[in-house]
Homo-oligomer: A and B are copies of this chain.
Amino acid sequence: MKTYIDCLPCFMSQALRAGRIATKDETKIKALLDDVGCMIKDIPMDSTPPETGKMIYQRVTEITGVKDPYKKIKESNINEALALYPKLKQIVKNSPDKLLTAIRIAIAGNTIDLGLNREFNILEDLNKILKQDFAIFDYEEFTSQLEKAKSILYIGDNAGESVFDKILIEELGKPTTYVVRDIPVINDATIEDAINSGLDEVAEIISSGTTAPGTILKLCNNKFLHRFNNAELIISKGQGNYEGLSNVQRSVFFLLIAKCHVIANDLNVKENDIVLKANGSIIQRHRQPM
């Protein structure tokens, strides 16, 4: 996804939010906003938003001196999600379509996002999303690819959400590789967060090599790129990964909540809609006349 004009003020808001979490020193936060303000004119509008996100969060660290401002919040979100884990398993167990329920739960986990100016209550959001209609629902294509796939590449998003991903990985029932960011950026999951979420019990965990809050292929390491290019089924969680991968010519299933109007417009859905979307190339292939 390209950068939209609406993303520009949002970059400033993100910088303010991250700055506030990193430090109480208003002089440093002001310096950060001055810096991001000046950055605006140099943002290529054909780059993806996480590419700018990467620069902003690097400046947060450089200016405040805090390497991982979201560390404590991530720990707390993982612990809150782990406490819900038995309940989530029970919900899946009692549901008529266990796979679909696990997909809904994994999407509900995507509500744990601190990059956006958006409050969340995980239990409330979960109950809503368990009943919510999908705005895009490529479930048939998903189950068809899942059936044929021998293994899965699962690109994670936020820490805490990662516990909800575990529920889905367990239902997928295939060897899975869980992909995380290379360094802490916003509250996105790193290898440490994935392990703390118990994902090492159900998946191989690898870093994509990216230091951006989204999967930008040109910033990824070779190990990930090899897996990405050869995977039989790719699941991409959340906005940052969608922003990075939506134009990639590769079969990817996007699971997300459209948490801002820019993403919602790009997907042609409404804000807060839930989405299970097979990217363009798949739809084209599947819908071509035989």
Contacts and interface: CB of A to CB of B under 8 A. Distances in A.
Interface stretch (A9-17, A87-95, A268-276, A282-290): A9-17
A118 interface: no
User: Which of A26, A36, A37 has the most chain B CB within a 10 Å cutoff?
Assistant: A37
A223 interface: no
B29 A5 contact: yes
Interface stretch (A39-47, A156-164, A240-248): A39-47
A257 to B, nearest CB: 21
Nearest to A31: B41
Contacts of A30: 5, 8, 45
A167 interface: no
Contact of A8 (B12, B41, B45): B12
A7 B68 CA distance: 26
Interface string A33-57: 1101111110001000000000000
A6 interface: yes
Contacts of A5: 16, 26, 29-30, 33
Given A5-B26, A9-B13, A13-B9, A33 B40 contact: yes
Contact of A38 (B13, B16, B26, B37): B37
Contacts of A16: 5-6, 8-9
A41 B35 CA distance: 8
A9 B8 CA distance: 9
Contacts of A6: 16
Nearest to A37: B40
Interface of A: 5-6, 8-9, 12-13, 15-16, 26, 29-30, 33-34, 36-41, 45
15 contacts: A5-B26, A5-B33, A6-B16, A8-B12, A8-B30, A9-B13, A12-B37, A12-B40, A33-B40, A37-B37, A37-B39, A37-B41, A38-B38, A38-B40, A38-B41
